Structures are given as structure tokens and as C-alpha cells.
Amino acid sequence: MDRYVVIGNPVAHSLSPRIHALFAKQLGETLEYATLVAPRDDFASAARAFFDGGGRGANVTLPFKLDALRFASRASDRARLAGAANFLASRAGIIEADNTDGAGLVSDLTRNLRATIAGSNVLLLGAGGASRGVIAPLLAQRPARLVVANRTLDKARDLAAHFANLGNIVAAPLDAIPGGEYGIVVNATSTSVQGEPLRLPAHVADARGLAYDMAYGDAARAFLEHARGAGMRASDGLGMLVEQAAESFELWRGRRPATAAVLAELRARRP
């Protein structure tokens, strides 16, 4: 049986095995998808053992997305631009890396949430790895402007410079977000996960755009409650997780699963 894993640390609570089991059932494919915990300081040995043992593919989650890119012999443009990989596949003995996170975000925003990126002002909060992973796919949708706002301005400036040739991207400090009606606000900071909710300034919330947190479940709750309270539409990142999984499944298996029923089933089981 073809074997796949999600590698992380911790990884026991990952929803990916459930999502891929639902995809496989939907398409009548026979495969096994499990979790694999790797030592924090030795991703490569765990990944090597898995692929040497005949594993076909892996998703990679925190804290190993940079290690995964280094581990692969080949990488897609979008993985190289993101500087990180959440996807590995073994093809003819060669390990290839890709990054499906940005495509997952774009699919969730545009298809599931019916938000319009093209021609809109988009605000991306944070300038860490999570932001870097989604900038190129966001810019490919041709927003009027992508503002990357970060507590540490220099990190936002570095990202804006890195991606400047791909579209209209500017950096701003988190406490001085420039004016302009933002149709979409994406929280890619780690504040939710740390339990310190981020506050949006009134001029951002007043545009009544979509507030999106790349985290999901409890981690996203405070930011989303704040955004809803300020009059915005709001969504967590569960749809992004399902969409990046669908993109991964298609890359491995050549068939794209439908996501709506899978997302609905996951939502029905969560509070």
C-alpha cells in the first residue's frame, strides 16, 4: 500500500491523516497516511528512514519546513520562493519539495470564502515564515497592493524587497498601518498561537473586509472575535489546511479531491 505521513514535532493532533483518509475514500484510492514525529534536531534522519522504507510522500509541519526544503534534491519555484517546503514526494528515487500552503490560502479565500484578491488591497500581518510562504501566491492573484505589516519593521522590509519583482508589495510597521480600504486582512503572526490577540486599528476594520486567521480552532478565536466585534467578516484557517492538503493529494496522486464536504465534516466535529 502507498504510504504517506505528516512529519512534525509535535504532530499527534494533526488533522492531516483524517483529511487525507476522507480524500482517499472519496476518490476510491487505497493509501495509508499517518503521523511521524521527528526529533527536533534531526529531521533528516527521520525523513530518510521513511523514504528509504518505501514511503511515497510527506507533508511537513512545524518546526521542519526549512529542513524539508534542505532535505530535498529538487524544489519547485514556489518552495524556493517561500524558503520552505510543506510537501515532499519520492519520484524515481529523487526527493522533490514543494510548498502548497500559499495555494491553499488562495483557494480558501477565493473559492470557499468568495473573497476577491485581484484588484483589492490586502493586508498581511506578520513577517515570519508563515507570511513568507504565502506572499508569492497572493501576488500572483494581482492584488492592487499587498501591505506586509510587522512589529519589527525591518523584517517586513526584507520580505517586501525579496518579492518586489512579483507585484505591488510594501512594508509597514504594525502600529502604523497605512490607510486604504483593505478587502482582506490575513493574520500570519504567531500571536494567536501564543494567546495574545492582535488588535486591528479602526481604519482597517471600518472597510468591513474579510479577516482571516491562518491558525484554526482555539488559536484563532480571539482575533476572529475581535474582528467580528469590529464589524468584519471573519474566518479561521481550517479551509487553508484542507485546501493545501487537496493540492498535496493532487500532486501525489494526479487527482484532485473535492474539498467542501471534507471541510464541512471537520467543522461539524469542532466546537
Is residue 130 part of the contact set for ligand ATR (CB under 6 A)? Answer: yes
Of 107 and 189, which has the nearer Cβ to ligand ATR? 189
Of 141 and 190, which has the nearer Cβ to ligand ATR? 190
Task: Count the residues of the shown chain that bind ligand ATR, applying the rule CB under 6 A.
Answer: 15
Of 154 and 225, which has the nearer Cβ to ligand ATR? 154
How many residues make up the chain in this entry? 271
Is residue 127 part of the contact set for ligand ATR (CB under 6 A)? Answer: yes
CB 97 within 8 A of CB 72: yes
CB 140 within 8 A of CB 169: no
- Rounded to the nearest 5 percent, the helix, strand and coil shares of the chain are 45, 20, 35
Site string for ligand ATR, 156-185 (x = CB under 6 A): ------------------x-----------
- Terminal-to-terminal C-alpha distance of the chain: 34
Is residue 152 part of the contact set for ligand ATR (CB under 6 A)? Answer: yes
Cα–Cα distance, 141 to 197 (Å, whole number): 28
What are residue 164's phi and psi, to 5 degrees? -60, -30
Is residue 201 part of the contact set for ligand ATR (CB under 6 A)? Answer: no
Q: Which of 190, 197, 230, 267 binds ligand ATR (CB under 6 A)?
A: 190
Is residue 129 part of the contact set for ligand ATR (CB under 6 A)? Answer: yes
* CB 155 to ligand ATR: min, Å: 5
Angle at 185 between CA 179 and CA 186, to 5 degrees: 140
Residue 106's nearest CA partner among 140, 78, 149 is 140
Cα–Cα distance, 154 to 223 (Å, whole number): 24
Of 35 and 190, which has the nearer Cβ to ligand ATR? 190
Cell of 192: 494567536
Name the active-site residue from 65, 78, 132, 253. 65
* CB 159 to ligand ATR: min, Å: 9
Is residue 143 part of the contact set for ligand ATR (CB under 6 A)? Answer: no
Number of neighbours of residue 261 by Cβ within 10 angstroms: 11
Is residue 196 part of the contact set for ligand ATR (CB under 6 A)? Answer: yes
Cα–Cα distance, 189 to 211 (Å, whole number): 13
**Dihedral class, residue 256 (left if φ above 0, else alpha if ψ from -120 to 50, else beta):** beta
Is residue 187 part of the contact set for ligand ATR (CB under 6 A)? Answer: no
* CB 190 to ligand ATR: min, Å: 4
Cell numbers 473535492 correspond to 258
> 65 catalytic, yes or no?
yes
Is residue 45 part of the contact set for ligand ATR (CB under 6 A)? Answer: no
Q: Which residues bind ligand ATR (CB under 6 A)?
A: 126-130, 150-152, 155, 174, 189-191, 194, 196
Q: Which residues are part of the catalytic machinery?
A: 65
